[in-house]
Amino acid sequence: MGFLHAGHASLAGEARRRADLVVMSRFVNPLQFGPAEDFDQYPRDLERDRTVAVEAGVDVLWSPTAVELYPTPPAVTVEPGPVGTILEGAVRPGHFAGVLTVVLKLLNVVAPDVAVFGRKDAQQAFLVRRMVRELDVPVEVVVAPSVREGDGLAMSSRNVYLDPAMRAGAAALPRALAAGVASFRSGERRAGNVVAATYKVLGAEPALTVEYINVVDPDTFQPNHAATARSYLVVAARVGSKRLIDNVILGDGIENDPVR
């Protein structure tokens, strides 16, 4: 959506490995923000984003306005289905309808052969893949690993909201995911026990309020009773008024995510 960082640059690098021409879209989408969310405060800096895009080897940085994409209030949107109502969808009603609608519009305008998304927003990536499959959109969707800060926190444009105390609390998220992975690697296959190992770390951090922790099936994104190497361990928490989400594939481990 903008305020680009090294995580976005890594997506451009992945696109460059797969295509001759790289187009990056930059658009803060009003459709995916709820009435009490941070649309007006979301960080925006076009010149900064241009610099990041050029250094990442992007050929075209497309930054449409809301009027260009939505000349009239949209009467037709993309319904995400049941997966759009759980986890992030339960916390942010209507969010994924807004995401899928704008992604479909962007894909229709650009008509890429390959579209690269980040795994930090795993539920979003799952729904985009399902949308292009079920609506026969001729594009290959690639999901690239999250890129992490030196303290393990997944890169996000919203990290600029965090003051030093909030940032220290937020660092519990990658530690908690690592604890869940360690539980799995020790032989634990019951999803509830992997979740418990994760919560033991998150629940001990007084700055955080846990919203959800789940092990989900990669093929359905439904909460799973059995943890497998392909399962996602997903977490969401608040530090102060700011929401943080993160995830890891249990068989991959958080240590395989690139670090800036």
For the annotated catalytic residues, the residue numbers are 8
Q: CA of 56: how far to CAs of 15, 28, 30, 180, in Å?
A: 10, 20, 26, 33
For residue 203, count CB atoms less than 10 angstroms from its CB and return exposed for 0-12, middle for 13-18, buried for 19 or more: middle
Q: CA of 100: how far to CAs of 17, 66, 116, in Å?
A: 25, 16, 15
Tokens of residue 121, six digits: 């927003």
Residues 6+ apart with CB under 8 A from 214: 87, 191, 195, 223, 233, 234
Nearest residue to 247 via CA among 259, 260, 258, 231? 231
Contact between 16 and 57 (Cβ < 8 Å): yes
Q: Residue 116 phi/psi, 5° resolution?
A: -110, 125
- CA pseudo-torsion sign 121, 125, 131, 136: positive
In angstroms, rounded to a whole number, what is the distance separating the alpha carbons of residues 33 and 96?
A: 10
Q: Residue 117 phi/psi, 5° resolution?
A: -125, 160
